[in-house]
Amino acid sequence: MAKTSPTWYVVWVGHSPGVYASWDKAQKQINGFPGAKYKSYTSEAAAHEAYSRGFASEIASGSAAKSSLKKKLAWGCVLPAIAVDAACNMSTGEMEYRGVDIDSGTLLFSMGPFYDSSNNLGEFLALVHALAYCKERGLSLPIYSDSRTALAWIRNKLAKTTVERTQGNAQVFALIQRAENWLKSNTYPNKCLKWDTENWGEIPADYGRK
């Protein structure tokens, strides 16, 4: 899917933090920089606003109303747990995903942007990333996703996507292959569960772009 609309990039932590009008420029600021923090936006105004708020505030805004959420979770969500989510701009195919500690709202990992992709691919990669994250740390936490498709792919250890391969999504498909291989060669105690959006509200890892 060709990129058709402008995208702006915020680099909070990198070689030279700031707002960038192209991925090539932003990528230079994060390549080889441990713990780089960055995110894409669809307008220059939104990017500058996010940069001025700072990384911590921007991530916190995606996990608002935590006290209210906890009341809802008491009716069925298992805690502690990890929530994952992905966001994909359907007009550009630009995708990113992340994982959040539900109890504290702490961002555990964030990846992207990736191109010529889909939301389901992001959700699948986020789930596998969370599983690998837990295995490396000896954690048996449940992992929640609001994507039935991605959860089915996890059970089958195969991402049955209809997204066509392009030069732009070569990195995504390399990650998908790596994720499928990881699922087939690893065991884990973590349960991958469906987030009950209707009763609990938006998943805590949600990007708030609906």
For the stretch 18-67, pLDDT in tens is: 999 888 888 888 887 777 788 777 788 888 888 888 877 666 555 444 55
Report CA 64 to chain centroid distance, whole Å: 17
Average pLDDT score, the chain: 85
- Whole-model pTM: value is 0.68
Could you tell me which residues are beta bridge partners of residue 101? 82
Alpha-carbon span 62 to 91, nearest angstrom: 22
Alpha-carbon span 93 to 3, nearest angstrom: 7
Strand residues in 127-195 grouped as ranges (E): 143-145, 192-194
**Pairing assessment for the beta strands 107-114 and 37-41 based on DSSP bridges:** unpaired
Q: What percent of the chain has pLDDT over 90?
A: 50
Instruction: Say if residue 93's pLDDT is above 70.
Output: yes
Instruction: Say if residue 191's pLDDT is above 50.
Output: yes
Is the alpha carbon torsion for 49, 52, 53, 59 positive or negative? positive
Alpha-carbon span 166 to 152, nearest angstrom: 25
Q: Which of 25, 183, 172 is nearest to 112 (CA)?
A: 172
**Residue 62: CA count within 13 A, CB half-sphere:** 29
Helix or strand (DSSP H, E) at 131: helix 119-137
